[in-house]
Structures are given as structure tokens and as C-alpha cells.
Amino acid sequence: MCWAACDRMANAAEALGLTEKRLYWSERAARIRERIETAAWREDGRLMSATFDGDVLDASLLQLLDLRFLSPDDQRFLGTMAAVEAGLRRGSHMLRYAAEDDFGMPETAFNVCTFWFIEALQLTGRSADARALFEEMLTRRTGAGLLSEDIDPVTGELWGNYPQTYSLVGMINCASLLSRPWSSIR
């Protein structure tokens, strides 16, 4: 996120015609990017790690696309996405991570992570998979059309905070991404 902040500050400075500020923020973004690419890349696994010191998988790595750190056709992203899918996907749902935390081993999936995965599927050309998973997630909504924070990947039971803004924003973002453009509607 530090890289994204510096990168966006450079973009804003450029739009405002602030050349010195653009150079300042661009240089910082470049340094942070180099550090991330060097320290988080795992050549042996062909993936980005969520940490500099280990091989930690975290579904937030899927956000490398949304942040425009990597592109959908970048082999580093495709390898990372494959690793996240293999390590964190539980049926139709994505865990945020599969490591023990203060609450023990995760038992429920974090709904927004599934929506991040749907976005990544769509942007990497797996449109049919993205649509099928999105439609599956829509069946998990309550009668009021809402989602909770988490879901039990075995039973489908909603868990955690309800309603959950992250889940709903993920649903809206995916609906927009998967929708046909207005120009194609006659």
C-alpha cells in the first residue's frame, strides 16, 4: 500500500502539473517497488509472498491487479494467483490466509477475498469461471440481499459481522466488472 500511495501521489502531481512533486513521489514509488519485487518474489515457487521473510500466502496478493502493481498477463501475477487458488481456495470460497493467528487456524472464508478472486479470474481471461463463482456467491445472500463478513466453506452458513461492507462492495465491484457494457445492450 505504501507503493500505491506514492504511485498515486505521483499521478496526482502530474495531473496538477507539479513536476518536482511528481519526480519526488515517482522516485519513492520506484524504490518501494524495487524492494517489493526483490524481497517478496520467490523464484523457486514463481510467486509473490505476502511477506519479505517467508512464503506466506494471503488472498490480498490478488489485489496486486487492482492496485496496478502487476498486470493480468504478468507471469509473476499468474503464478501468484495459481498459488493463492491452490493454497487458499476451499470449494467456492477463499480464505484470507491459512496460517494460525490469535484465534487459531481459520475455519471460515472471508467473503471479500472470494470477490477479489472473481475479479482476478475475469481479468486473467477466465470469464466463465468468474461468472460461475459470482453466481454462486449471489446464492449466499440473505433474503435482504446482504452478506456477512465470513462464510463456512463446508456448510455455507454466514458468519461474522453482518451486514459487512467489504462483502457488499466486493459484490458490487464484481457485478460491474462482469456486466455487459451499456453499448452492447440494444
CATH code: domain of residue 128: 1.50.10.10
Q: Are residues 26 and 96 in the same domain?
A: no
What average pLDDT does range 17-24 have in this prediction? Answer: 97
Please give the tally of structural domains in the chain: 2
Residue that the C-alpha cell 506514492 belongs to: 6
Cell of 71: 498486470
Q: Are residues 56 and 133 in the same domain?
A: yes
pLDDT for 133-143, tens place per residue? 999 999 999 99
The pLDDT assigned to 99 comes to 82
pLDDT for 115-126, tens place per residue? 999 999 999 999
Range of the domain at 87: 40-184
pLDDT for 70-81, tens place per residue? 999 999 999 999
Distance of CA 140 to the CA centre of its chain: 20
Q: Are residues 53 and 31 in the same domain?
A: no
What average pLDDT does range 39-56 have in this prediction? Answer: 92
Q: Are residues 33 and 52 in the same domain?
A: no
The model's pTM: 0.90
Q: Are residues 29 and 113 in the same domain?
A: no
Q: How far apart are alpha carbons 61 and 183 in whole angstroms?
A: 33
Mean of the per-residue pLDDT values of the chain:
93
Cell of 130: 468468474
Distance set, CA 115 to CA 32, 52, 86, 97, 185 (Å): 27, 26, 16, 15, 25
